[in-house]
Amino acid sequence: MSLEVEPERSFGQALIVATRHGARSLDVFVDVEWSGAVARRAEMFDPKPVVWSVLGSNVEPAKPAIMIGVDPPAVEPHVEELLAMPEVRTIIEHGVVFGECRGLEVARVSGTGTEQRLEVGVGVYDQGAFAVMHPDLTPQQSLAEVVAQVLEHRRSDAAPHPINRLVRERWLRSELLDDPGRLGLTGLEPVEGAVARDGLHDRRAAFAHAPEEGVLVACSVGIDLDLIPAAAEVASREGAERIVAVLPARDDHPITRAVADRCRIPVEITVAQAPWPGG
């Protein structure tokens, strides 16, 4: 099978096709630029898929690439104080520092040193518009206003609204970060995925790590073909010995469990009560 569109995420689709057809082996052909990342994921499954690196007419076995992280900027005290607002959790992913309220981005740190500031708004595109529309508000007032809007709409008894439809997997994660005991865990820390999200409409699993128990929690909403491969990759990076995939009842699909059974790191599928309206 050739992986041409978003190869890392398409690897999950290839696994599903092979699993559905009862294939004894799986060979995937990937452009040289992405072959190392896909080979890294393939290492996490049995039987291990064979990944081939393609460069023009040249094809050779791919070698797993090393995952390289990005250091986040140091957060200046005046910005750190703003992010300490109740209901706001500081999240660091792929070199970016931002604030979340119930899993929804409400602020992002930009600039460095004395020029560092907090851009306020729901997602990166709203942040610029919010500053133009509310030039007289201080950063603290701006953040308080956005948080109040999010809290109004992001609750189980709220009316349907765009704010409570966005990044629901991260909303689910925020609930578990607040109460890890629901999973029988003593503590959870948010961790980044292997690939950065492309905005608020990009559905990717949200991860958290319980270091004391050696557990990686992967929160997902919808049928995500990449859920188990992405979780396996992050679990390997974090040194987790077990994966707990948390999803709503309607998304507990047999094919997800079938792929989970192939993962070298034990995977437990847990059905959770959704915190959003109609969940």
pLDDT 10s digits, 5-51: 577 778 998 999 998 888 889 999 999 999 999 999 999 999 999 99
Paired tokens of 156: 């189980």
Distance of CA 155 to CAs 70, 79, 159, 272, 275, Å?
Answer: 33, 27, 9, 16, 7
CB 8 within 8 A of CB 38: yes
φ/ψ (deg, to 5) at 15: -60, -40
How far is residue 141's CA from residue 167's CA, in Å, rounded to a whole number? 25
Segment 80-102 mean pLDDT: 94
DSSP state string for the chain = -EE-SSHHHHHHHHHHHHHHTT-S--EEEEEHHHHHHHHHHHTTBSSPPEEEEEETTEEEEPPPPPP---PPPPPPHHHHHHHTSTT-EEEEETTEEEEEETTEEEEEEES-GGG-EEEESSSHHHHHHHHHH-TTS-HHHHHHHHHHHHHHHSSTTSPP-GGGTTTHHHHHHHHHHH-GGGGT-S--EEE--SS---STT----EEEEETTTTEEEEE--S--TTHHHHHHHHHHHHT-SEEEEEE-GGG--HHHHHHHTTBSS-EEEEE----STT-
Q: Which residue has the tokens 């507990």?
A: 252
Distance of CA 199 to CAs 104, 131, 153, 155, Å?
Answer: 11, 19, 20, 22
Exposure of 30 in the CB half-sphere (CA atoms within 13 A): 30
Beta bridge pairs of residue 29: 2, 52
Is the pLDDT reported for residue 191 higher than 90? yes
pLDDT in tens, 204-252: 999 999 999 999 999 999 999 899 999 999 999 999 999 999 999 999 9
Share of the chain above pLDDT 90, in %: 73
Question: What does the buried/exposed string (b/e) look like for 77-98 if buried means 16 or more CB atoms within 10 Å of the residue's CB?
Answer: eebeebbebebbbbbbbeebbb
Beta bridge pairs of residue 133: none
pLDDT for the residue 2: 56
pLDDT for the residue 67: 84
Contacts of residue 265, Cβ cutoff 8 Å, sequence gap at least 6: 44, 232, 235, 236, 240, 241, 242, 243
pLDDT in tens, 136-184: 788 899 899 999 999 999 999 999 999 999 999 999 999 999 999 999 9
pLDDT in tens, 107-126: 999 988 888 989 998 877 67
The amino acid occupying position 244 is V
Residues in the chain: 279
Q: Which residue has the tokens 């201080």?
A: 138
